[in-house]
Structure 1
Amino acid sequence: MTVLLVLILLAVIVGGVVLYLRARRNRTAALGDQSARPGGPVDPLADHQGVTDIRTVRAGDMIDYGDQLYFVRGSLRLKEGGYSWSEHFLDDARGSRLWVSVEEDPDLEVVLWRETADVTEPGGKTMEVGGVTYRREEDGTAAYVSEGTTTLAERGSVEYVDYEGPDGKALSFERFDGSKWEAGLGEAVALPALRVYPAGSDRT
């Protein structure tokens, strides 16, 4: 009789241990699946690896360049005669005013621009800013169409004067719809180091 009681007691203990281990394993599995549950945090860049064709950029996209992530707030599509190009206004989360211009003339030229207060209007054939000498390259008037957030009208015109400097540096002046001149200092973008993350799922 004593042996039977001992066997029964051992069976109860073993059964309890088995039930405990099963419950613990199920609880661990449930915790591990929390990140996949609907309504949890979602990685906005998880569905694609980005693209390298800067010509596809539009408002809502993100640009990764120079260890900095930029959010594209709006775009200008410009046209002068049979020639067209784009300017995209960026937000770097630090309050800086900057943009990237994209044109094919005929090679693809991409320049990152930052607003400067060191000069206020275009000058003669050469200008010196920050110890760098720039030579006047071209000027004209183009029509633009605005997309997204640009602080400009939906359509209008812009006067521009462009200067070229050494080592991919540039100086540009723009005057939108007869307002005051805006100046920007630019540097050529190293395309292999740039990546675009489209906002929509229709581009890869």
Structure 2
Amino acid sequence: MDGSVTYLVAAVAVLAVVVFVIVVWARRRAATRPGGARPAGRPARGRAAEPLRGGPHRLAPGDRVRIREREYAVSGTIRLVEGDWSWVQHLLDDASGTRHRLSVEDGPDLELVLWTAEPGATVTPGAPTIDLGGRRYTWAETGQSRYTAIGETGLPAAGTMRYHDYQSGGGARLSFEAYGEEGWRVARGDLLDPTELTIRPTAEER
């Protein structure tokens, strides 16, 4: 009888361990697939410190920025809000006529990304990985935000924006954005060090 009780207790203990392992495995799997929770190690948006005052947050149409030895003029600014988190995108013009934008995000650290439009790209979002320009990008996050726009953005003054973000090594980024009912805008980005950016504000102080 004692032997049967011991066997039963051992069997229950083994079953409990198996169930625990399955639950942990399932949660981790859900956290790494598109449409699921945020990947492990990526800070949740909206839980960052208060935005820094001044600097790239205060850029506005008419200001000039020097990034990696190239001069840009700010032609428009888009401010986006998703829940209790917000970020900014400044549209940049340069002599080449290529569309660029500078995104400014607050997290544990200030994150600056210089984006270059890829109007000829035929890829679409949704897959766990996407290959573009000889580089493989991995899904990072998906969401929808509300925006307000000022300056020359080509957008209504306010609306909604859907997005899919992907990442690769060396600070490389890939984004898909759709404002309102329009199709996807594709852009590749490079993570910047704050020291690579110099702001040249207009004469009028803000």
Question: What TM-score, normalized to structure 2?
Answer: 0.71
Between the aligned partners of 1:123 and 1:130, the Cα distance in structure 2 is 18
- Pick the structure with greater CA Rg: 1
The SS at the match of 1:54 is helix
User: Number of matched residues?
Assistant: 152
Find the counterpart in structure 2 of residue 28 from structure 1.
none
CA distance in 1, matches of 2:123, 2:90: 22
2:145 pairs with 1:169: no
Partner of 1:180: 183
The answer for the alignment partner of 1:118 in structure 2 is 121
RMSD between aligned residues? 1.3
Please state how far the C-alpha of 1:79 moved relative to its aligned partner: 0.1
Q: Choose from 150, 153, 157 the match for 1:154.
A: 157
**Cα offset for 1:60?**
0.9
**Matched residues in 2 for 1:167 and 1:53: separation?**
24
* Distance across 1 between alignment mates of 2:78 and 2:158: 9
Instruction: Quote how far apart the aligned CAs of 1:200 are.
Output: 4.0
* Paired position in structure 2 for 1:136: 139
* 4+ residue runs over 4 A deviation: none
How far apart, in 2, do the equivalents of 1:64 and 1:136 lie?
30
CA distance in structure 2 between the partners assigned to 1:95 and 1:176 by the alignment: 22
Alignment partner for residue 56 of structure 1, among 27, 51, 58? 58
SS at match of 1:59: coil
- Structure 2 unaligned blocks of 5 or more: 1-53
Gaps of 5+ in 1: 1-51
CA distance in 1, matches of 2:203, 2:163: 32
Partner of 2:194: 191
The TM-score, its normalising length taken from structure 1, stands at: 0.71
Question: Structure 1 residues 200 and 119 mapped into 2: Cα distance closer, same or farther (>3 Å)?
Answer: farther
Provide closer, same or farther for how the CA distance between residues 119 and 108 of structure 1 changes in structure 2, counting only shifts above 3 A.
Answer: farther
Once residues 99 and 204 of structure 2 are traced to their aligned partners in structure 1, the CA distance between those partners, rounded to angstroms, is 28
For the 8 Å contact 1:174–1:181, the answer to whether it is kept is: yes
Q: After superposition, where does 1:14-29 map in structure 2 within 5 Å?
A: none
Identity %: 36
